[in-house]
Amino acid sequence: MNKPIVIGIAGGTGSGKSTVANEIYNALPKESIVKIEQDSYYKDQSALSFEERIKTNYDHPDAFDTDLLLSHLQALISGKSIEKPIYDFEIHNRKPETVSVSSKDIIILEGILILVEPEIRNMLDIKLFVDTDADVRIVRRLQRDIKERGRTIDSVIEQYLNVVRPMHLQFVEPTKRYADIIIPEGGYNKVAIDIMAVKVNEIVNSKKKLRREANLARA
């Protein structure tokens, strides 16, 4: 079997990991690459009231449905399609609809805590950690949560000080040691992104060559 290559991109909130993931994704032919986000795998909280959902610690590993994420990764690696959840950050819960995702040569998984779980780490062929200063990350978080998630400045700052920062120090920062490559300054590090894009493109071309040779051998 021509097994897909799984690339994990981790880093703190606002570090630029999504930008890195998108830049690599956009540099490859879409028939060869797929991207999934750990944020899509927050646990379903339909049994909780809105007030209770607000209090959830979304920066703790327990907030994620890791079993579902693992099963979806295994399916994609096996060449199968999945139905990826959609998470609505304004209602703090999953939407009823899903997104169909097909397996491709390259699978990008990005998220703050993907290097925390040993089972996920073991499924990653390349592990990247996007390392950005805390002051830059909090500014980016403020901009994102206010513009995209309907939060107030006070609520974002309170959440950052009481939850995000402690969880980053406890869970995210220590996973840097598992990374194969550390990318400083995230999406602004064009050199690192270009190098990764070239490497991933080489992998895709190698896989295409192997498929052509296998098809010729069968002919």
pLDDT reading at 187 higher than 80: no
What mean pLDDT is predicted for residues 56-72?
95
Least confident range of 6-15, 23-32, 68-77, 206-215 = 206-215
Instruction: Say what the pLDDT of residue 1 is.
Output: 52
Distance CA 142, CA 152 (A): 9
- pLDDT-derived band at 185 (thresholds 50, 70, 90) equals confident
The dihedral over CA atoms of 149, 84, 5, 185, expressed in degrees to the nearest 10, equals: 0
pLDDT reading at 78 higher than 90: yes
31, 104 contact by CB (below 8 A)? yes
What mean pLDDT is predicted for residues 113-142?
92
The residue type of 66 is: T
The domains of the chain, with CATH numbers, are: 5-200 (3.40.50.300)
Q: What is the pLDDT of residues 92-111, one digit of tens each?
A: 999 999 999 999 999 999 99
Instruction: Say what the pLDDT of residue 138 is.
Output: 85
Structure-token pair, residue 189: 């590090």
Q: What percent of the chain is modeled with pLDDT above 90?
A: 62
Average pLDDT, the chain: 91
- pLDDT-derived band at 139 (thresholds 50, 70, 90) equals confident
Instruction: Say what the pLDDT of residue 216 is.
Output: 84
**CB within 8 Å of 61: residues ≥ 6 apart:** 113, 116, 117, 171
